Structure 1
């Protein structure tokens, strides 16, 4: 969706994974967005993650995934349920990034690189 001239302008502080996702979702919904970060370029954590393989999430069923949070499971379940690992993969696919499930059950970008 394109922004409109009278759309609100939102400043996103932080160009890490969460900030970039927030900016993308806002922009997709017609909000004008400016992203600010102390680092000289955006997405630097993605570059670091690329060194270790950049797994995105796990492929296991939601109930098993929630089990990873142990004592915090009950508190986090409603939040994770609203944006499950499957929803995260769908969002990433919507950005044009294909994924695959590795032998560990972790989900990785097909191209296995952190930045274009």
Structure 2
């Protein structure tokens, strides 16, 4: 079981890795692995990457918040995310955007946005970086499970199998099937004997004291 204490445990870098899911989590995993020298292929069932990221950009793309780290971490109480946020805090996210040529600014609420107030320039710059790192895109590839050590995909030219040294599943939840998040992967891993937790809303959580 992954927990907050295991985040900084060093791992060996595989020679090749499949990242299944081309949203922000999958693309960041691909970038990190490629920078470490891994040959990375990103598979996604949709015709383009980052579709939910682009939808978030309709509202200006709130990237993070400018408040101090201690206050920022308090927003995640009860979740095993402390060391992850500390390893990549809001300042690091802003620096990453700047390195992609996308300047950010702090709004009146303290929230951080790209100066363009759009996701598309950031995504284009990110995909260029991944291409320069040698990351291979495989679009319209739906992962359907395993056959032995091979990953199985349905692709435009039919079903095929491929073997990598490691695979990262970054397919998100079940919030927006139209944009790629249909949660179908949970049934695949459950059939393989991997326990999963039920999907729950995450974007608008709040606490109410009913006493």
Shorter-chain TM-score range: 0.7 to 0.9
CA distance in 2, matches of 1:93, 1:25: 17
Q: Which has the larger radius of gyration?
A: 2
The aligned counterpart of 1:66 is: 73
Moved over 3 A (4+): none
- Please point out which of 91, 110, 119 is paired with 1:114: 119
- Tell me if 1:48 matches 2:48: no
The aligned counterpart of 2:105 is: 100
Alpha-carbon shift at residue 79 of structure 1 (Å)? 2.1
TM-score (norm 2): 0.48
* SS across alignment from 2:105: strand
CA distance in 1, matches of 2:33, 2:114: 23
Alpha-carbon shift at residue 63 of structure 1 (Å)? 0.4
Alpha-carbon shift at residue 39 of structure 1 (Å)? 1.2
Where in structure 2 are the equivalents of 1:23-38 lying within 5 Å? Answer: 23-38=30-45
The aligned counterpart of 2:166 is: none
- Please point out which of 4, 9, 17 is paired with 1:10: 17
Supply the RMSD in Å over aligned alpha carbons: 1.6
Structure 1 unaligned runs (5+)? Answer: 1-6
Alpha-carbon shift at residue 12 of structure 1 (Å)? 0.7
CA distance in 2, matches of 1:29, 1:93: 21
Alpha-carbon shift at residue 115 of structure 1 (Å)? 1.0
Change in 2 beyond 3 A, CA 1:70/1:9: closer
Structure 2 unaligned runs (5+)? Answer: 1-13, 122-211
